Chains A and B, each alone.
Chain A
Amino acid sequence: MLTEFWKKHENLYYALTNKKVIFGLTIVIFVFLLAVFGPMLTPYEYGDYAGEGYMPPSSQHFFGTTIDGKDVFTRTVYGLRSTLLVGVIAGTIATLVGCAVGFLAGYYGGTLFDELLMMMTNIFVVIPQLALLIVIAAFLEVRGVVVMAVIVSITAWPWTARAVRSQTLSLKNQEYVSLSKISSLNVGRILREDIASNMFSYVFMVFIQQFNGTMLATVQLEFLGLGPTKGISLGLVMQNAVNWNGIQLGMWWWAIIPGLILAVLITALYFINTGLDAAFNPRLREM
């Protein structure tokens, strides 16, 4: 029965047996677990005074303490939570909007509708991301996690829209779509089997990339002091460390550890992306 299942979900089988995917997925799961269960491992809140300041990592303070005695581990895992949340929300918004616009424009390729959609997309493409984000962020006095996500996704979707549009355009003119048409397949099946399934892997990878990109963009904003006005996030932890000259004062754990976690997470996501590429594309499979 198990073999029957794998036969039906061949792509999943190839994805989960790909070494790069296994490697990346292990790290990503570990980081997610850290974000979910990490706060339970610490007796403090992220704003609490946890003990003596300036303490290097030890069994009591896994990631050491800040200059004013806050526990870096606590701040990191809470920060990781909200950073991941921003990434998921912003990544989802950017992917959904980008795919919707791109698919519609591609499907109605060459029409006035397509031209209008693309004109709008191109306007968003040429807006300098950082400048817009600074303006919006400065404009909103109170910024929470969700607001951050929305701000970041505004500038993230256009590239996806353009890529998805051209993908749709080329897919719908493939000769195998014509063959399905003259084989009298109904439109639903053509969209599903010939267009969507050839795009699914692509969209999935777009999501991972958007998740990645939006997370990084958020951390950048936070690092510049344009982050959420309440709560904590990885970017804020690092900004704090830099503001207090943490590294110059020898407290490398304060800024390096959260940064390292973020870097490892993003690398792992890239590994998943390249691995999935091979898994979804039969031509790249090792047989």
Chain B
Amino acid sequence: MSKNNKNEVVMSVKNLTKIFKSGIFNPEYTTAVKDVSFDIEKGKIISLIGESGSGKTTVGKLILKLINPSSGQIIYKGQDIAEITDKKDTQKYYRRVQGIFQDPFATFNPLYRVDRVFDMIFDSYELGFSDKDEAIRKVLHDVNLNPDRTLGKFPHQLSGGQLQRLLIARALLMDVDILIADELISMLDASTRIGVLNLLVESCKKNGMAVIFITHDLNLGYYISDQSLIMYKGRLVERGATKKIYENSTHPYTKMLFEAVPEIGDRWDPEEEFLPEQVVGEVKDFYQNNQGRGFVEVEKGHSVLFSDE
């Protein structure tokens, strides 16, 4: 791979904002994502880290065009994806950008056998395999599944981990540019986990696939990703190379996240309890003290949100 290929940006997200509105006569607004910007580079893994409700899944859905942004843009290959409305173009987009959803049980239609997830992509896309069954069996072996024990089953007959690996196999078969992996390995046991992660990293290095790894697990983020994005209450609060963020975390929420990670050997200590309200207060003070600074690059490739106006 040549050198300028290495930092090729495949997708850039610019000032992405999503506000949900519910009710007609008495609408209520919820800001799920506010002013989020980042670039996705070819073959790189980005972790999107944040607590539940921080808007990370919404970012994934926006990139997958499952919901429309309230404002901001997602540029893929020079085109705002909001402009992709034509059926053919949408199909082309999904041929290159794919996702794996949070809940494997909900991702399978309960009335159909699990094979359907493979049948659908073979129906819709030209995947370039001469033998469909052969290709499926091979990729299932790769994700450590026994094809004879999984194919032909109904979703309720398999475990969450097995279903999740079926979806990973589906994504690997498609060999995409960008994969949105929402809590990808949450249901895998520790032994399978590393295998699947390595498989993903391998696929990234070999085929130049970029992965957006949505997670709340910091260790995982550190293990796998080149870049990290920390989200808090719909805002991107820290962005940069994973190593830099881990070594030099600046935003109080990020700091709290690191302190909250238990290490092997640590025991629970009631004195050290970290209350969520405390973080809320700290973040508020932090914003107040740095009023007007906004989203600033503190070192090369490491930016922090200093104030949220």
Residues of B within 8 A of A282 (CB): 110-111, 154, 156
**B152: min CB distance to chain A, Å:** 12
Rounded to whole Å, the gap between the CB of A226 and the closest CB of chain B is 39
CB-CB < 8 A to B23: which residues of A? 110
Q: Which listed segment binds B: A139-147, A191-199, A254-262?
A: A191-199
**Contact call B101/A178, Cβ cutoff below 8 A:** yes
- Point out the residues of chain B lying under 8 angstroms from A178, CB to CB: 61, 64, 66, 99, 101, 107
Question: Chain A residues with Cβ under 8 A from B108's Cβ?
Answer: 176, 179
Which one, B5-13, B90-98, B137-145, is touching chain A? B90-98
Q: Give the residue among A111, A193, A194, A282 with the most B Cβ atoms within 10 A.
A: A282
Q: What 1/0 flags go to A158-194 for Cβ under 8 Å of B? A: 0000000000000000111011111111100000011
Alpha-carbon gap, A186 to B123, bound state (A): 11
Least CB separation from B22: chain A residue: A110
Contact, CB under 8 Å: A179 / B156: no
Q: Is B282 an interface residue (CB 8 A)?
A: no
For A185, give the chain B residue with the smallest CB separation.
B120
Q: How far is the CB of B3 from chain A (nearest CB, A)?
A: 33
The answer to whether A182 touches B94 (Cβ under 8 A) is: yes
Q: Is B191 interfacial (CB-CB < 8 Å)?
A: no
B278 at the interface (CB under 8 A from A): no
A283 within 8 A of B: yes
Q: Which of B13-41 contact A (CB under 8 A)?
A: 22-25
A282 to B124, CA, bound (A): 26
CB of A48 within 8 A of chain B?
no
Instruction: Report the separation of the CA atoms of residues A178 and B117 in the bound assembly, to the nearest whole angstrom.
Output: 12
Size category of the A interface is: 20 to 34
Judged by a CB distance under 8 angstroms, whether A112 is at the interface is yes
Residues A183 and B107 in contact, CB atoms below 8 Å apart: no
Closest to A171 in B: B109
Query: CA A179 – CA B108 in complex, angstroms?
Result: 8
Chain A contacts for B129, CB-based, 8 A: none
**Residue of B22, B61, B111, B125 contacting most chain A CB atoms (<10 Å):** B111
The listed residue with most B CB atoms (<10 A of its CB), out of A110, A112, A182, is A182
- Tell me the complex Cα distance, A194–B102, Å: 19
Q: Name which residue of chain B comes closest to A115, CB basis.
A: B24
Chain B residues numbered 65-92 whose CB sits less than 8 Å from any CB in chain A = 66, 87, 90-91
Question: Could you tell me if A174 and B106 are in contact, using CB atoms closer than 8 angstroms?
Answer: yes
Nearest CB in chain A: distance from B110 CB, A = 6
A197 vs B116: C-alpha distance when bound (angstroms): 15
Smallest Cβ-Cβ distance to A181: which chain B residue: B66
Residues of B close to A180: CB separation below 8 A: 109, 120
Residues of B within 8 A of A184 (CB): 90-91, 94-95, 124-125
B112 interface residue per 8 A CB criterion: yes
The answer to whether B187 has its CB under 8 Å from any CB of chain A is no
Residues of the A chain whose Cβ atoms lie less than 8 Å from the Cβ of B220:
none
Q: Which of B87, B106, B109 has the most CB of A within 10 A?
A: B109
Q: A110-B24, A184-B124, A283-B156 are in contact. Are A176 and B98 (CB under 8 A)?
A: no
CA distance A270 to B106 in the complex (A): 30
Q: How far is the CB of A187 from chain B (nearest CB, A)?
A: 9
**B257 interface residue per 8 A CB criterion:** no
Given A179-B101, A182-B99, residue A194 in contact with residue B64 (CB < 8 A): no
Are B111 and A198 in contact, with the CB atoms below 8 A?
yes
Are A111 and B24 in contact, CB atoms less than 8 angstroms apart? yes
Query: Within the complex, what minimum Cβ distance (angstroms) separates B267 from chain A?
Result: 38
Contacts A175-B101, A198-B110, A198-B111; is A183 near B24 (CB within 8 Å)?
no
B103 touches A175 (CB 8 A): yes
Instruction: Return the chain B residue nearest A201 by Cβ.
Output: B111
CA distance A179 to B119 in the complex (A): 12
Chain A residue contacts of B98, Cβ below 8 A: 182
Distance, CA A121 to CA B111, complexed state (A): 31
B121 in the interface, Cβ–Cβ < 8 Å? yes
* Between-chain CB contacts (< 8 Å), 14 pairs: A110-B23, A115-B24, A175-B101, A176-B109, A178-B64, A178-B99, A179-B101, A179-B107, A179-B117, A181-B94, A182-B66, A183-B117, A184-B90, A184-B95
Residues of chain A at the chain B interface (Cβ within 8 Å): 110-112, 115, 174-176, 178-186, 193-194, 197-198, 281-283
Task: A178-B101, A182-B98, A183-B121 given; name 6 further pairs at CB < 8 Å.
Answer: A112-B24, A175-B101, A179-B101, A180-B120, A182-B94, A184-B90
The 5 A-B pairs with the shortest beta carbon distances in the complex, nearest first, are A183-B120, A184-B124, A175-B106, A184-B91, A176-B109
**Partner-A contacts on B (CB < 8 A):** 22-25, 61, 64, 66, 87, 90-91, 94-95, 98-99, 101-103, 106-112, 117, 120-121, 123-125, 154, 156
